[in-house]
A = this chain, B = another copy of it.
Amino acid sequence: MRAYDRQDLLFQLWEVARLDEVIASEDLDREAVEGILDTADQIATDYFLPVGRQIDEEEPRFVDKRAVLPAPVKPAVDAFVQAGFIAAGFDPAHGGMGLPETVHQAAAFIFAASNVSLAGYGLLTVGAGRLIQSFGTEEQKRRYLAPMVEGRFFGTMCLSEPQAGSSLSDITTRAEPMEDGRYRISGRKMWISGGDHELSENIVHLVLAKIPGGPPGVKGISLFIVPKKREDGSSNDVTLAGLNHKMGYRATTNCALNFGDAGDCVGELLGEPHRGLGYMFQMMNEARIGVGMGATALGQAGYQSSLAYARERPQGRAPGAKDPTTAQVPIVDHADVRRLLLAQKASVEPALALALLCATLVDRERAGDASAAAVLGLLTPIAKSWPSEFCLEANKHAIQVLGGAGYTRDYPVERYYRDNRLNPIHEGTHGIQGLDLLGRKVLIDGGAGLRELSAVIRADIEAAADSELAAPLGQALERLARVTAHLAQAVQSDPERGLANATLYLDCFGHVVMGWMWLRITEAARSVAARDGDSDFLRGKHQAARYFYRRELVRTEHWAEILMDNDQSAFDMAADWF
């Protein structure tokens, strides 16, 4: 059994995300795209899915200052690399396959659903490599990017330090200029995913550090390329200080790294001095969309697993049909099990729609569409945070469908729940996403991004005027506009109180976006029905949308009330009152 619904993925790609429009100008047709996804499916089925339990139970070990991974990790990652799924993320000019981001992300979804922690290495390498692709010198591209594209070198992003997690202005890692133009790096980094392993010939760390004498805070941060090994194969004085023992997501090592303990760690500046944080945000934004996709894939995997169980497991009878001599019914027949399944579907399918929409916006931005960039910027905190919160909730439901069985390692659903719990934390916590959205993104250019997004949503609503979803979505959108205007004002007059409910605003915004996704999905379903006839598959879309609107979208009314009050009940809680 697959960990994802292939029929839904193809429907979402072609009918909802309209991939044909994205790839119209590319040398790629439907058959070629589906061939790529078939390859991803094959590798995921052969190498990712079967080893999930083993590589969770056998955690990475710290042995002689090295990270030692369980045996099945390397063959899986190798198969991923050899099939070109790292090269897929890079420009042909640098040896990449130049795949549209939408296709790349569809493949990423397949891998992440099949094992999210194995998929992490590719994600990080593509993200790091693209930074070098964007800002590196030709020489840096030759020495670092080329082997990353080939999948011989992997990449990391090194931001956090023990005293500076979310607060990057407080990093203290130093980069002292050397006479040859390179830098001597010293400092300690924390929470480095993929920070050590033996899966690749080398690891290219992209490290935030400060050049002495620069401005304080984030304005003094520069970005450095710091390989684990030098070109001659010798050590570059990057030491694995420890491995974190995580609740889940275990096959992606998570490391504490010391740079320059022996005073002999050498790095190269990437781009200009003091512009490191801005550069890193390119990678961060891509990683955030990737995190959202991973959370979505985990939600999907739990949904598929619990749905299969619910269809097969006989237990009990309907209320009022208690005759114990009749056969037990499959649990999917029980109302509350159906709710637990539908709640999952109602979250994971629009989350996939948003992830793929963001990928199409990346493709449009690459093709020079400036409005795509503004909308993408606004949607990025949503694409990261909403699945991290609500597809985690879906994974909670998946366990509940299985009952006691779901609480054991005999089924994967408890692992998905543990894996997914990371997603509201890394690449900017849920709270940080809220601050990014309300404190920055909606304010940029006087609210240009939101105006652009609202126009797009309104156009979809107008095109779907006869849909039962059109009116409630329109109202939700107006409500969001009012709330935004009100809070934007509050943020300007008092940033602390104005941002006190930024997380709730984030969730509220996210629910409206997911309502929009359901409109897009159901409109696509209507088109397909008109073309090919109705089907159970399409009926399910409408029913899930109805459920989402009735049970979830309405929550924005209650949230909007709290936000219009800008309720300070949490903010006014003094630290000593706890």
Asked whether B567 lies within 8 Å of A558 as measured between CB atoms, the reply is: no
Chain A window 551-578, contacts with chain B (Cβ cutoff 8 Å), 1 for yes, 0 for no: 1001101100110000101111111111
Q: Which residues of A contact B (CB under 8 A)?
A: 160, 163-167, 169-170, 190-191, 216-218, 244-247, 307, 311, 314-320, 322-325, 328, 330, 332-343, 345, 396, 399-400, 403-404, 406-410, 414, 417-418, 421-422, 424-426, 429-431, 434-435, 439, 495-496, 498-503, 536-537, 539-540, 543-544, 546-547, 550-551, 554-555, 557-558, 561-562, 567, 569-578
Query: Is there an interface contact between A328 and B577, defined as CB atoms closer than 8 Å?
Result: no
**Which residues of the partner chain B approach A311 to less than 8 Å between Cβ atoms?**
575
Interchain residue pairs A-B with the least CB separation, the first 6: A217-B324, A540-B577, A320-B495, A336-B431, A167-B316, A339-B570
Query: Do B574 and A435 touch across chains, with their CB atoms under 8 A apart?
Result: no
- A130 CB, nearest partner CB in chain B, Å: 24
Closest beta carbon of chain B to A73's beta carbon, Å: 20
CA distance A336 to B167 in the complex (A): 15
* A165 and B404 in contact, given A320-B496, A342-B573 (Cβ under 8 angstroms): yes
Are the C-beta atoms of B322 and A169 separated by less than 8 Å? Answer: yes
Q: Are B496 and A431 in contact (CB under 8 A)?
A: no
Q: Are A216 and B328 in contact (CB under 8 A)?
A: no
Q: Is the CB of A244 within 8 A of B404?
A: yes
Flag if B335 contacts A499 (CB, 8 Å): yes
CA separation between A174 and B191, bound complex, in Å?
55
Known: A167-B315, A170-B328. A247 touches B409 (CB 8 A): yes
Cα A246 to Cα B405 in complex, Å, equals 9
When the two chains form their complex, are residues B409 and A166 in contact, meaning their CB atoms are under 8 A apart? no
For residue A165, which residues in chain B have a CB less than 8 angstroms away from its CB? 315, 403-404
Query: What is the CA–CA distance of A536 and B577 in the complex, to the nearest angstrom?
Result: 5
Known: A404-B160, A536-B577. A167 touches B317 (CB 8 A): yes
Contact residues in B for A543 (Cβ distance below 8 Å): 569, 572-573, 577
Whether the pair A336, B503 counts as a contact (CB closer than 8 A) is yes
In the complex, A544→B578 CA distance in Å? 9
Min distance, Cβ A61 to any Cβ of chain B, angstroms? 14
29 pairs of residues in contact across A and B, judged by CB atoms under 8 Å: A165-B403, A165-B404, A167-B315, A167-B316, A191-B404, A217-B322, A217-B325, A218-B324, A247-B407, A318-B495, A319-B498, A320-B495, A334-B431, A335-B502, A335-B570, A337-B431, A338-B570, A338-B573, A339-B571, A345-B578, A400-B425, A400-B431, A403-B425, A539-B577, A543-B573, A546-B569, A547-B570, A550-B569, A551-B569
A555 to B330, CA, bound (A): 32
A439 to chain B, nearest CB (A): 6
Contacts of A550 in B (CB 8 A): 562, 567, 569
Cα separation A166 to B157 with both chains bound (whole Å): 48
Measured CA separation A448–B569 after assembly (Å) = 37
Measured between alpha carbons, how far is A316 from B343 in the docked complex, in Å?
Answer: 37
Q: Which residues of B contact A569 (CB under 8 A)?
A: 342, 543, 546-547, 550-551
Our pick among B167, B406, B555, B570 for the contact of A342 (Cβ within 8 Å) is B570
Please, which residues of chain B bring their CB within 8 A of the CB of A502? 335-336
